[in-house]
Chains A and B, each alone.
Chain A
Amino acid sequence: MGLAKRIIPCLDVDQGRVVKGVKFEDIRDAGDPVEISRRYNREGADEITFLDITASHENRATTYETVSRMASEVFIPLTVGGGIRNTDNIRDLLLAGADKVSINTAAVFEPEFVKKAADKFGSQCIVVAIDAKQVTSDRWEIFTHGGRKSTGIDVVEWAVRMVSFGAGEILLTSMDRDGTRNGFDLGLTRSVADAVTVPVIASGGVGNLMHLVDGVLEGHAEAVLAASIFHFAQYTIGEAKETMARSGIEVRLTD
């Protein structure tokens, strides 16, 4: 017995609609976030991640309203990210019903913000999201602006630093794999997971259920995140869990 590895469906939300792009472009409408999260909840998702990919100032009210509706009927943990710049944004999201917030770009530009957020709200609700691209065979760097801008920062060193600042979890996305359906970048995932003391969520590239298994067994991830394979009903969460269980991974099986 022990802690179950988690399956986390991710909703990329643009102006109140779930979308999913290939390599962050070519956006395709996949429906209403509340309706989709209700389905994932029924199917046995362990958590839901909601990434507000527009996150422009005028759309924040829509985000809070959607998060609040989700939190009123979906009784599993909810992480919300996208456009979080200050502690007021975090407070508003937690009050709307988010359990954790995911900080991405703001952490890169102002690392101390992570420390401030963890001190104020507790590490348990601060996720640091990292968008990584491979630059040499064993080095990955952080990219911002949807993968367009390099920062030159080494991903593993950054993850360790973010944990020392109070990050309670790392959401690690391979920009090389995102939307490709070729599977996680396992070298990246393992390098980070083995270097930090907090859980790492593997993200980017899931195209079939064995990719989820690989993320845990080879990538050493505590949780695996996927979007399109679930949105378009290619697989259910239940099928994903059965596949993982058959591979000897502990998962939460529901009726």
Chain B
Amino acid sequence: MVQTVAVIDYGSGNLHSVTKAIENAGTCRVIVTSDAPSIHAADRVVLPGVGAMGDCMQGLKDRGLDSVVLDVITTKPLMGICVGMQILAEYGEESSGVNALGVFPGQIRQFSKSMKTDAGDLLKVPHMGWNEVVQVPHPMWSGISDRTRFYFVHSYCYADAGADCVIGWCEYGPLFGAALARQNVFAVQFHPEKSHDAGIHLYSNFLSWDGAC
């Protein structure tokens, strides 16, 4: 039977690209849904997210989906993307502070607007564009070269690049966590659906990942 991937729709922007990219990555049925039973019934779950972390967290809570996320990760693989990764951390300093899901320890912090390159040039914020991700071995990287570039667009980041859950880090001013994993959960700060062949490859790996590391 064809596996089902549930992309959680909680009012956080357009899910067209995510859906199309997953469909391109392998044989599967992608559903975009905010319905708890459908999410529970799916084989895999994707938690996307754009915009402000507080709005995303609120959108998830308003639909009662925060507990659904915490529940499904005990039994099946889940992939978080961008703000969908950030809300899996403990806390974000965006707005007046956001208490998040706490699947990963640590905080989401704002990039400083006074970061400079080695040559002394000011680094632009948001961090927007293609940057290299240095991998820590994990099955989700299978077939993807170390330091492959992915597409990022964000002003806040997972600050503790040395944490145990970091399986890919990136440098923009300081180092930050670009990919996190723990048990059934894999999450990335970048956008695989905007990262050309490497991004599609990552979704393809997710479709065959059993949730083990």
Contacts and interface: CB of A to CB of B under 8 A. Distances in A.
**Is chain B's binding surface mostly helix, strand, loop or mixed?**
mixed
Contact of B24 (A3, A75, A125): A75
Interface string B1-25: 0000000000001101100110010
B124 A6 contact: no
A124 B128 contact: yes
A99 interface: yes
Nearest to A95: B14
Contacts of A72: 16, 20
A68 B13 CA distance: 15
A171 to B, nearest CB: 13
B194 A198 contact: no
B129 A4 contact: yes
A56 B196 CA distance: 32
Contact of B130 (A3, A75, A122): A3
Contacts of A9: none
A223 interface: yes
Contacts of B212: none
A197 interface: yes
Interface in B130-153: 130-132, 147, 149, 151, 153
Given A1-B132, A71-B20, A94-B13, 15 more contacts: A1-B147, A3-B130, A6-B129, A46-B129, A71-B17, A72-B20, A75-B200, A76-B195, A94-B14, A121-B51, A122-B50, A124-B126, A124-B153, A198-B124, A252-B149
Interface of B: 13-14, 16-17, 20-21, 24, 50-52, 113, 117, 121-122, 124-132, 147, 149, 151, 153-155, 171-172, 191, 193-197, 199-200
